[in-house]
Amino acid sequence: MYLGEFKSRLIPFCFGLSPYFKVNLTANLLTFSPKMGMFLEGKVNKIEEDYIGVLVLGLFNAAIGVTDIRNGFHFFKKDLQGSWVNEMERHIIKLGSVIRFSVKSVEEKDEFLDLSGSLMPKETGSLEWLSQVKLV
């Protein structure tokens, strides 16, 4: 989304001389530069046996592979809906959950950002669950 404002309604044109024109533009930009090890939050938009898909800032997709989901979690599927459940901790990650994860890797491929995440650190998981548990 681009938000801009024109400083003037008058644009200097040189009719017949040049097909170009000048516009002064002011813009507010959002920069996103994730680094390995930092924590990000996003909404779970895909749950499968081998990964969790997360949408960060409503723009960027991240994937958390099964090998990056901490021990104690197992995949559970009921009525075509999957979730990752840790019964000992009463911790559930399901479609629509907002989660915190650590950035495992960041790669740029052909103008696309490839984010991989991890749920290994104890400070990660569903924000609902994290708000109820005290981390030691």
Work out how many domains the chain is built from and give that number: 1
Let me know: does 20 contact 45? Beta carbons within 8 Å: no
**pLDDT exceeds 50 at position 87:** yes
User: Do the domain assignments include residue 24?
Assistant: no
pLDDT digits (tens, 9 = 90+) for 8-22: 666 555 556 666 767
Amino acid in position 20: Y
pLDDT at 1: 47
- Residue 7 inside a domain? The answer is no
> What single-letter amino acid sits at 88?
M
Confirm whether 77 is domain-assigned: yes
| Residues 69 and 82 sit within 8 Å (Cβ to Cβ) | no
- Containing structural domain, residue 99: 39-132
Instruction: Encode pLDDT of 33-70 as tens digits.
Output: 899 999 999 999 999 999 999 999 999 999 999 999 99
In a domain, 102, yes or no: yes
In this structure, are residues 103 and 40 in contact, taking their beta carbons and an 8 Å threshold?
A: yes
> CATH no. for residue 115?
2.40.50.140
